[in-house]
Chains A and B, each alone.
Chain A
Amino acid sequence: MGKLIRWIGRTMSPKSNRCSEEDHCLELARIMLDDESTPENDAYVLKHIDGCYRCFDNFNVEQAIREAVKHTGTNVEIPTEVVEEIREKINVD
């Protein structure tokens, strides 16, 4: 987690060199990571990050945040009595 936080701090720092296509690339990269992209968009993102370290960094941070978010999915256990109450109410209805 510390590594990710350091990484985010670096990519979000105003001191870092920004890329003129950064916002566009990031938007398309997110769509790509959501598996909702088109082959054309994918090709643009992959080609761009191949030559732009800033966007390459952004892409990897996006991936890392998603992974971290997935791991926050601490499941709250559903109380068994709630399930039973629902079954009971449905059978009564």
Chain B
Amino acid sequence: MKDEESIIPDKEKTLVFEQEFMPHLDALYNFAYKLTFNEDDAKDLLQDTSLKAYRFINSFEKGTNAKAWLFRILKNSFINDYRKKSKAPSMVDYQDVESYYNSDKGDSSREITIDLRAETVRDKLGDEITIALNSLDVDFRTVIILCDLEGFKYDEMAKILDIPIGTVRSRLHRARNMLKEKLAVYAAQMGYK
């Protein structure tokens, strides 16, 4: 006997996928690329996300926010699969960073560890803002990408990242401070102070 999940005809599942999910593949791929800085990894992450979305399509409510749902799957895949497997050096656990900055030791001038892979895309992506953004730790980079580039609201970001709205707000505020500080360092290097 078929379980409830398999009662939904494949044809309908494919139709939902085409109509609701396919329009967001481009945004998903770009999000994956901005998280991994690597085309192959972004491709793998996108495929993994797409297959998971298809597998769990029954838990998606048609007409609701498909983009936020897909971004959540991708972010979870990144954390659970890609990031654990990653051999990249200098990955910083967000909780450690947050604890550090919330403590008295948090010094705004301190350089946080930079994901070295950010350097590999410098030439490709260009200007100072991009360099500064890409040098942020992935958790801080992510909130800026979701908010400023993808236009998600705080409540949507809270669902995507699985954190309370208050944490979204404070993480975003901290991320913006870090971005600005990095740009200020650049400004100082250029003699603007």
Give the interface of A toward B (CB within 8 A). Answer: 1, 4-6, 8-10, 12-13, 15, 27, 30-31, 34-36, 61-62, 65-66, 68-76, 78-79, 82-83, 85-86, 89-91, 93
Contact = CB atoms under 8 A, between A and B. Distances in A.
B153 A36 contact: yes
Which of A36, A72, A78 is packed against the most chain B CB atoms within 10 Å?
A72
Nearest to B177: A26
10 contacts: A6-B192, A8-B183, A31-B169, A34-B172, A72-B127, A76-B33, A78-B46, A85-B47, A86-B50, A90-B50
A74 B37 CA distance: 13
Contacts of B144: 69
B173 A82 contact: no
Contacts, number: 112
A-B complex: 3 closest residue pairs judged by Cβ atoms: A9-B187, A9-B192, A12-B184
Nearest to A58: B180
Interface residues of B, number: 45
A82 B51 CA distance: 13
Contact of B47 (A1, A27, A82): A82
A30 B183 contact: no
Which of A69, A73, A89 is packed against the most chain B CB atoms within 10 Å?
A69
B169 to A, nearest CB: 7
B193 A9 contact: yes
Nearest to A6: B192
A91 B14 contact: yes
Contact of A90 (B14, B179, B180): B14
Interface in B43-85: 43, 46-47, 50-51, 54-55
A91 B13 CA distance: 10
Which of A12, A31, A71 is packed against the most chain B CB atoms within 10 Å?
A12
A67 to B, nearest CB: 9
Interface in B146-189: 147-149, 153-154, 169, 172-173, 176, 179-181, 183-184, 186-188
A54 to B, nearest CB: 14
Given A12-B180, A75-B30, 16 more contacts: A1-B127, A4-B183, A8-B187, A10-B193, A36-B169, A65-B180, A69-B148, A70-B149, A72-B126, A73-B30, A76-B30, A78-B30, A82-B46, A86-B46, A86-B50, A90-B51
